[in-house]
């Protein structure tokens, strides 16, 4: 008898059953709400999606590659200058060595009496070196090469003349000091 009533019930409700699938994660959300209402703590952790971290890593890699191609493949300023005028590298090598020798000599001559003069000279040399780098950039950027090359050579000559003058002044200061020391009587 009961079976007949069940068959009648199913026949009557035919086509009214909900056949839809719940949304993904429905059971997890339901259990989470159930646990919260009863005061228990869930031991299940939410699944983190690996695609987010992977997409961030890929984005960083792409930016790194693009930056390397943009910045890394270019020639250095010195290489570009040598391409424009090969004589510049030979001249620069000669003058740079001469200047370096004189700077070393000047640093060795430094004493309490000449410290300010030596420090000021080294500061002026740094400014002249900065000007020289600016001239190199102008040459690479397509400036009048004849004028710029002459200015570069003049820059080297100015540095050498400055060092010679300062070394001469340092020598005079040392001679004056030794002369004064000899004339002091006790």
| Residue 13 per-residue DSSP state | T
Instruction: Using the predicted structure, report yes or no on whether residue 142 has a pLDDT greater than 70.
Output: yes
Judge whether 128 and 68 are in contact, CB under 8 Å.
Answer: no
Q: How confident is the model at residue 150 (pLDDT cuts 50, 70, 90)?
A: confident
Q: How confident is the model at residue 158 (pLDDT cuts 50, 70, 90)?
A: very high
Judge whether 163 and 106 are in contact, CB under 8 Å.
Answer: yes
Structural element, H or E, at residue 148: helix 145-183
- Structure tokens belonging to residue 21: 């699938």
| Residue with more model confidence, 160 or 137 | 160
pLDDT, position 123: 92
DSSP code per residue over 33-83: HHHHHHT----PPPPPPHHHHHHHHHHHHHHHHHHHHHHHSSPPHHHHHHH
Task: Map tokens 């006790």 to a residue.
Answer: 186
Q: What is the mean pLDDT of the chain?
A: 78
| Residue with more model confidence, 66 or 133 | 133
- Mean local confidence (pLDDT), 49-53: 74
What does the pLDDT look like over 84-103, one tens digit per residue?
A: 666 777 777 788 888 899 88
pLDDT, position 98: 87
- 174 vs 180: CA distance, rounded Å: 10
Total-model pTM: 0.53
């Amino acid at each position: 008898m009961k079976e007949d009533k069940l068959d009648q019930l199913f026949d009557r409700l035919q086509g009214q059953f909900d056949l839809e699938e719940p949304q993904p994660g429905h059971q997890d959300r339901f259990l989470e709400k159930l646990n919260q209402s009863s005061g228990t703590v869930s031991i299940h952790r939410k699944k983190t999606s690996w695609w987010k971290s992977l997409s961030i890593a890929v984005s960083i890699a792409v930016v790194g590659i693009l930056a390397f191609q943009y910045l890394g493949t270019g020639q250095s300023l010195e290489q570009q200058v040598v391409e424009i005028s090969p004589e510049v590298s030979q001249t620069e090598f000669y003058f740079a060595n001469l200047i370096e020798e004189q700077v070393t000599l000047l640093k060795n001559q430094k004493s309490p009496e000449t410290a300010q003069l030596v420090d000021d000279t080294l500061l002026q040399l740094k400014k002249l070196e900065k000007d020289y780098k600016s001239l190199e950039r102008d040459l690479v950027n397509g400036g009048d090469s004849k004028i710029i090359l002459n200015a570069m050579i003049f820059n080297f000559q100015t540095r050498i003349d400055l060092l010679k003058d300062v070394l001469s002044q340092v020598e005079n200061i040392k001679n004056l000091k030794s002369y004064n020391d000899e004339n002091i009587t006790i």
